């Protein structure tokens, strides 16, 4: 894990000096030993992607609370949400 973070830290000056407006990192899930915690401090914006009906609500709440305590640029995306309303009752097209 430390080797991956070291390589990331070595890349940071090159990434900041690049001509790209946005660079997106697909980071590993938030676990107690995840590299995402260390990398979060270098991100301008973080999106926490939560899979509906699969992600543990308590784990998501704790992870989000920890991220918000350290940074103020966290947003949550609810992915793969399903609607259980019959189409005839749903007004959306």
pLDDT digits (tens, 9 = 90+) for 28-61: 788 777 777 777 777 888 888 999 988 888 988 9
- Average predicted confidence (pLDDT) for the chain: 82
Question: Per-residue pLDDT averaged across 60-65, rounded?
Answer: 89
Instruction: Output the pTM of the full model.
Output: 0.68
Give pairs for 9-12: CB < 8 Å, separation 24+: 12/42
Residue 77 corresponds to which tokens in the numbers above?
């995306």
What pLDDT shows up at residue 4? Answer: 64
Torsion on CA atoms 13, 14, 15, 19, rounded to nearest 10: 120
Place of tokens 């949400």: 81
H-only helix segments in 1-93: 2-16, 36-40, 57-70
């Amino acid at each position: 894990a430390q080797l991956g973070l070291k390589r990331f830290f070595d890349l940071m000056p090159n990434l900041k000096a690049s001509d790209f407006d946005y660079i997106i990192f697909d980071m590993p899930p938030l676990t107690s030993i995840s590299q995402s915690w260390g990398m979060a401090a270098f991100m301008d914006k973080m999106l926490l992607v939560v899979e509906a009906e699969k992600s543990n609500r308590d784990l998501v709440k704790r992870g989000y609370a920890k991220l918000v305590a350290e940074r103020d640029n966290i947003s949550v995306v609810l992915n793969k949400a399903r609607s259980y309303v019959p189409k005839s009752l749903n007004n959306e097209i």
